[in-house]
Structure 1
Amino acid sequence: MKRLLLVFLSLLTNLLLNAQVYLPAQNNEKTNRPEVTKNLNINQDPRLDKMLGWHIENNRIRNKIEGFRVEVFFSSDFDAREKSIRKKKEFLSDYPDYAVHIKYISPNFRVRVGDFRTKNEALKLYREIKNNFPVAFIVADEIDFPLEKPIQYE
C-alpha cells in the first residue's frame, strides 16, 4: 500500500513539474502591433487650460499649507504681548533650530513653534519640550512650507 502511494505521488510530482515547461511565444496580435508614433495630438477643451492657469496662480499666491505646530504659551492678560515675546526668547534660547510664531487671536496672544506637515513630527518636538513647557500642546494650523531635511542613514 505504501509503495502504491509512493508511486502515485512520484507520478503526480513528475506531471506537475513537466506542466511548468516554458514554451516559446507564438506570433500573436500583441507582437504585431505598430509602434507608437512620436507625434501625439491631444484635442481638449480650451477651458481646461484656463482652469489650470487659475489653479497655478492661486497656489502661487498662497504661501501656506495645512499642518501642525506646538503651542507653548497663550494668555489674555493686559501684558500678554510682552509675556509672549519673553516666552519666544526663552524658547529660542533653549531650541534655536525651530521657527517661533507669535499670533494674536482675539483675545489671546499665542506662541506657536515649528512647521510640521504631520502630527507625528509635531509630537516629537512636544515630547522633547514638555518638561520645560508643561502647558504645551499640539494644534492644527496653517504653516509655512517646511524645508525638507535630507535623510541621514546611520
Structure 2
Amino acid sequence: MVIHPFLIKFVGSVTMVQDMMLKKKFLWALHLGIIVLAGCSKKSVVSSSGSEYKEDLASVRPRYEYTEPTFAKKTETAVAPKNNNVPRANVDKPLYVNKRLDTVLDTLAKQNKSIRYINGFRIQIYVGNVRQEADAAKSYIYQAFPDLNPYMSYSQPTYRVKVGDFMYRSDAEQYLDLVRQQYSSAVILSDRVDIKRSMMVNPASESN
C-alpha cells in the first residue's frame, strides 16, 4: 500500500498543531497553578498574622510625669507702672525740648567762640631784604588805612608785609586799588585771617 506524500505532510502538520495546543494548555495550567499557590500563600500569611497575640508591655513603656507650668503674676503688676511713669513725665512737658535745645545751642556758641581764624585773604604790599622798608610799609598802612592791620613776617633773608583780614576776595580787591597807589606791586594772597578783625573792615566806606 503506497501512502501519498501529501497525506503524510498533512498528518504531520496536524500532529504539530496538536502538540502546540497541548503546550499552550500546559502553560495556561501552569500559570493558573502559580496564581492559585500565590493566593493561598498570602492567605496563609494573613491568617498566620491575624492570629491573636497577647503580651503585657506596660512594664516596658516609658512613663512621663506632666507638671503644669506656673506663671508669675507679680512681674506684670510691678513692671507696668514703672514704664508708664518715668519717661512720659518729661516728654509731655513742652519746656523739656526747649531746655535740651538751649544746652545744644550753648555748646555750639562756645565752640564758635573758640574758633578765631578762618581761611580768607590778605594784601601783600612788600617783599624785600631791607628791614627799614618793611617798617615804612607798616607805618604807611597805620596812617592811610587805620582799619587794616599790617602783619610782618621774616624768613631769612626776606621780609614780607601783608595787610588786612578779608573774608571775601571782593573786599580785598576794593582795597587793592587804593594800596597800589603807593605800592604798585601789591597782590592778593589767600591766608588765615582773624574773624573779629575781618568784621571791622568796611571797604565801602574807604572806597568813597
**TM-score, normalising length: structure 1:** 0.51
Question: Given the alignment of the two structures, is residue 62 of structure 1 paired with residue 115 of structure 2, yes or no?
Answer: yes
Secondary structure in 2 matching 1:98: coil
Distance 1:138 1:145 in 2: 15
Distance 2:134 2:186 in 1: 13
Identity %: 19
Bigger proportion of residues as strand: 1
Distance 1:65 1:49 in 2: 26
The 5 Å alignment of 1:1-150 reads 41=94, 55-75=108-128, 77=129, 79-80=130-131, 82-93=132-143, 95-104=144-153, 106-107=155-156, 108-141=158-191, 142-143=193-194, 144-147=197-200
Distance 2:189 2:164 in 1: 11
Asked if the contact 1:84–1:102 (Cα under 8 Å) also holds between the matched residues in 2, the reply is no
Distance 1:102 1:139 in 2: 13
Unaligned runs of 5+ in 2: 1-91
Per-residue displacement from partner, 1:111-133 (whole Å, max 9, x unpaired)?
A: 12222221111111111222321
Superposed CA RMSD: 3.5
Equivalent position of 1:5 in the other structure: none
Cα offset, 1:90, TM superposition: 2.4
Paired positions, count: 108
Secondary structure in 1 matching 2:199: coil
Larger Rg over CA atoms? 2
Unaligned runs of 5+ in 1: 1-38
Bigger proportion of residues as helix: 2
Distance 1:86 1:70 in 2: 16
Cα offset, 1:56, TM superposition: 3.7
